[in-house]
Structure 1
Amino acid sequence: MREQLQKIKEEALLEIKSADNSQKIDEIRVKYLGKKGSLTTILRGMGALSPEERPIVGKIANEVREEIENQIENALNEIKNKERNMKIKSEYIDITMPGKRHSIGNIHPLNKVLDEIKEIFFGMGFSIAEGPEIELDYYNFEALNVPKNHPARDEQDTFYISENLVLRTQTSPIQIRTMEKTKPPIRIIAPGRVYRSDAVDATHSPIFYQIEGLVVDKGITMASLKGTLETFAKRFFGENTRTKFRPHHFPFTEPSAEVDVSCFVCGGEGCRVCKGSGWIEILGCGMVHPDVLRKGGIDPDVYSGFAFGMGLDRIVMIKYGIDDIRLLYENDIRFLKQF
C-alpha cells in the first residue's frame, strides 16, 4: 500500500504540473481526493492492515494528501495570476491612441420644427392637448358642423374602421373634447398624426401631421386671431414677415380665412419657393362657429373663440426647401443628416 500511495503522489504531482487551467486542476482534485478518488479508495482498504501497519500507512496517506492539496493550491494561485495578467493585457487601453468617432443622430426635421412651434405658442400662454387617433365619427365630423351627407365630407377621403369609427382626418376633434372637459378660458394647441386616403406623391401622403389651435374666452374677436397668427409668423419666419388673410370657407368656423405669409426667401419679390407670387400659404383659420361651441357645451352668447390649423409637413417643407414629402418618412440617413 505504501508503494501505491507513492505512485498516486507522483502521478498527481505530474498532472498538476502539466495542468494549464483551473478546470483541469479541479478535475485532478476530484480524481485523487474526491469521494471516489484514488487516494480515498486506498484509504478505505486500511481496515485490512495489521494494527502495527495502520498508523504508519495512515501517516503516509495524510502526507500524500497534504502534498497534493498544497500543490493544487499553488497551481491554482499560479493559474489565477496568469489569467489575471492575460485579462489585464487584453483589456489594456492605450490612452495615447486617437478615439473613434461615434455617429450621433439628429432630431428629425418634423420634431425639430414641431418643438420650435410649441415654444412659440407656449410663450403666448397655450398648452398642449391630445386625443385618440382612432376617433368617433361624431367628434371627427358631426360635432364640427359636418353632419352625415354634408358635401364637406367628400373633400376628405376618410379611412373608416366601422360606420362610427374613423382614423381621424384632422386634429380638430381634440378641440371638441377639450371644450367638453374644460371651462373657458381655453388656450390650446393640438399637434398630432392624421390620416387621409390620399395617393402618395411629392405633396400628398396618407399619414401626415397637423397642428391646430383653439382659443375660447369672453371678448375674443377676429383681431385676437389676427394678432396671434401675426405673432407666430414673425417669430417663426422672421420679424420682417408680413401676413395676408384671404376669405375662405370651413364648416366649423365663421368667418373663415386662409393665411399667407410673405416669402421668407425672396422677401415678397417672387422666387421659386413662392412660385413668383411673393406669398406662401401656411394655414387656415376662423372664428369658431356658434354651433361648434354649443356641441362643446359652451354658450356662444357668452363666449367666442377662434381656431386655426396648419400642416406640419408643409411648414417643414417650406422652411427647409424640401420638394417631396416622402423624404420626411423614408428615414434615409443621408437626408436626415442634413438637419
Structure 2
Amino acid sequence: MTDSIPHLPSYDEPALDTSFATLSAEVAAETSNLSDPEAFRLNWLGRKQGRLKLISDAWLKSAPPEARKPLGIRFNQLKQQIEAALDAPAQAAPAKTVQQGIDITLPGTVRAPGIPHPLLKTMYEIETVFHHLGFSTSTGPQVESDFYNFEALNFPPNHPARDTQDTLVIARQQSRPSRDRLLMRTHTSPVQIRSMIASPPPLRIVIPGKVHRNDAADATHSPIFHQVEGLCVDTNITFSDLKGTLDHAMKALFGASVKTRFFPSFFPFTEPSADVQISCPFCGGSGCRKCKHSGWIELLGCGMVDPAVFASVDEQRKAQGFEPAYDPARISGFAFGMGVERIAMIQHGISDIGQFYSGDMRFLEQFA
C-alpha cells in the first residue's frame, strides 16, 4: 500500500472521474486478496492518518465552491466501496454448524412429578373400596341451606344436637326464613337428601367432600376437614348389611386382620345408631399408646336411616313434582360417615392434623 496523495490536475468532472477511478482501482486490488482487514481499514479510514482523511483535507481545502458537491459525492462512493470490502469477508465466512444432540455427561434436569395430597389420596382409596361394592360417587355444594344441612336430616330448629355441629353461618341471613338461611355445611349428609330427592331407590352412593365447623385448631381438630359418607337405600336393607359393608371396608383399608365392633350411639338422622371401632392396626389389639392401651380405635358413626328423614324427602319430592318413593313401610337404608383426616392419620402414623394443611413440602414429599 502507498500513503501518497494522488495529484488532482483540476476540479472539472473528467478530472474527478479519473482520479477517483484510480483510487477505486487501488481499493479493488487490495481487497482482492485481503489478508489483514484491520490494517486495510486503518490505511484508508483511520481518523488521523487514513488516506481518505488526508485526500479529503488536501483536495477540499483548495476546491472551488462549485466543485465541492461533486467532490463530496465521489468521496462518499469511495468510502462505501471500502466499507463494503470490509464487510464482505464477514458475510462470506461460512456459518458455524451447531451440532444437535444430547451430552450424556451433563446432569439431567430434575422435574419432580406431581402427587395427590395425602388427604386426597386417602379419600380416593376410601371411594375405591365402596366403588367395588357397587356405590357411585355423589357431590354437593359446600354452602348449604339450613333445610338440607339440618331440618331435612331430623334436626328441627332449636334442637340441642345442632349445638354439637359448631356451625359457621353466612352473614346477613336474618331476613330469610330459617330453613332458607345459608351456612357452611357441617357434614356431607345434605348430599344424601339431595340425592334421594333427585332419584328414587335403589340408591347406593358414597359422598366425599370438604366440611366446615367452628372448631379451634389443635392436634386432632381443624375448622376445615374432609368426610366420606355413604348411603344405601333399597327394600329389605338391614343392620346386618350395614355391619357387613363396614367390616369389609375397614379390612380393605387397614388389613384383613382388623376387627370391627359397634357401640350404641345417637345421631338425629339414623335410628338405631352406632359408633364403629376397629382393632388397633399398630398393636393388633394388645394395647399401645396410639390406642390409649385399649386395643381399639373409634373411627366412624353409622346407623339405619330414620323414617323421619324418608318422610322429609318425600315431602320435598312432592313439592318438586316427583312421585313419593321413600315409604318407610316399604324401603329401608343405612348411612355412615367417616373423617378422612382421622383415617389418614391412622394409616400413616401422623399425630398432628395441622401437618396436612401446613404446606410443608418436607412433610408432603413423604407421600410421593
Tell me the TM-score normalized by structure 2.
0.71
Note if 1:193 corresponds to 2:210: yes
Task: Provide the rounded CA distance (Å) in 1 between the counterparts of 2:328 and 2:184.
Answer: 29
Identify the residue that residue 23 of structure 1 maps to in structure 2: none
Secondary structure of the 2:168 match is coil
Q: Aligned-pair distance for 1:295?
A: 2.2
Task: Provide the rounded CA distance (Å) in 2 between the counterparts of 1:245 and 1:9.
Answer: 110
Task: Provide the rounded CA distance (Å) in 2 between the counterparts of 1:287 and 1:9.
Answer: 110
Q: Which amino acid in structure 2 is aligned with residue 231 of structure 1?
A: H
Identify the residue that residue 147 of structure 1 maps to in structure 2: 156
Note if 1:326 corresponds to 2:354: yes
Identify the residue that residue 56 of structure 2 maps to in structure 1: none
Task: Provide the rounded CA distance (Å) in 1 between the counterparts of 2:208 and 2:126.
Answer: 10
Alignment of 1:114-129 (within 5 A): 114-129=123-138
Secondary structure of the 1:337 match is helix
Q: Which amino acid in structure 1 is aligned with residue 186 of structure 2?
A: T
Shifted more, 65-74 versus 189-198: the winner is 65-74
Alignment of 1:202-217 (within 5 A): 202-217=219-234
Which among 273, 276, 281 is matched to residue 256 of structure 1? 273
Task: Provide the rounded CA distance (Å) in 2 between the counterparts of 1:8 and 1:140.
Answer: 99
Q: How many residue pairs get matched? A: 290
Task: Provide the rounded CA distance (Å) in 1 between the counterparts of 2:86 and 2:312.
Answer: 91
Task: Provide the rounded CA distance (Å) in 2 between the counterparts of 1:238 and 1:283.
Answer: 17
Note if 1:283 corresponds to 2:311: no
Which among 73, 80, 90 is matched to residue 75 of structure 1? 90
* RMSD of aligned Cα (Å): 3.1
Alignment of 1:157-236 (within 5 A): 157-162=166-171, 163=173, 164-236=181-253
Task: Provide the rounded CA distance (Å) in 1 between the counterparts of 2:247 and 2:20.
Answer: 104
Closer/same/farther in 2, CA of residues 195 and 68 from structure 1, 3 Å limit: same
Identify the residue that residue 299 of structure 1 maps to in structure 2: 327
Q: Which amino acid in structure 2 is aligned with residue 76 of structure 1?
A: Q
Q: Aligned-pair distance for 1:235?
A: 1.0
Q: Which amino acid in structure 2 is aligned with residue 116 of structure 1?
A: E
Which among 248, 263, 267 is matched to residue 246 of structure 1? 263
- Check the 8 A contact 1:159/1:166 in 2, yes or no: yes
Q: Aligned-pair distance for 1:301?
A: 2.1
Note if 1:311 corresponds to 2:311: no
- Check the 8 A contact 2:270/2:305 in 1, yes or no: yes
- Post-superposition Cα deviations, 1:264-300, rounded to whole Å, max 9, x if no partner, equal 1111111111111111111000011112122223222
- Check the 8 A contact 1:9/1:68 in 2, yes or no: no
Q: Which amino acid in structure 2 is aligned with residue 332 of structure 1?
A: D
Structure 2: runs of 5 or more not aligned: 1-15, 39-68, 174-180, 315-325
Task: Provide the rounded CA distance (Å) in 1 between the counterparts of 2:360 and 2:349.
Answer: 17
Q: Aligned-pair distance for 1:218?
A: 1.0
User: Sequence identity, in percent?
Assistant: 50
Task: Provide the rounded CA distance (Å) in 1 between the counterparts of 2:88 and 2:235.
Answer: 89
- Check the 8 A contact 2:27/2:82 in 1, yes or no: no
Secondary structure of the 1:248 match is strand
Identify the residue that residue 96 of structure 1 maps to in structure 2: 105
Secondary structure of the 1:180 match is helix
Q: Which has the larger radius of gyration?
A: 2
Shifted more, 295-304 versus 174-183: the winner is 295-304
- Check the 8 A contact 2:213/2:224 in 1, yes or no: yes
Secondary structure of the 2:278 match is strand
Task: Provide the rounded CA distance (Å) in 2 between the counterparts of 1:278 and 1:321.
Answer: 16
Task: Provide the rounded CA distance (Å) in 1 between the counterparts of 2:192 and 2:92.
Answer: 74
Task: Provide the rounded CA distance (Å) in 1 between the counterparts of 2:115 and 2:220.
Answer: 24
Task: Provide the rounded CA distance (Å) in 1 between the counterparts of 2:26 and 2:269.
Answer: 99
Secondary structure of the 1:338 match is helix
Task: Provide the rounded CA distance (Å) in 2 between the counterparts of 1:328 and 1:169.
Answer: 20
Q: Aligned-pair distance for 1:157?
A: 1.1
- Check the 8 A contact 1:9/1:64 in 2, yes or no: no
Structure 1: runs of 5 or more not aligned: 19-47, 50-56
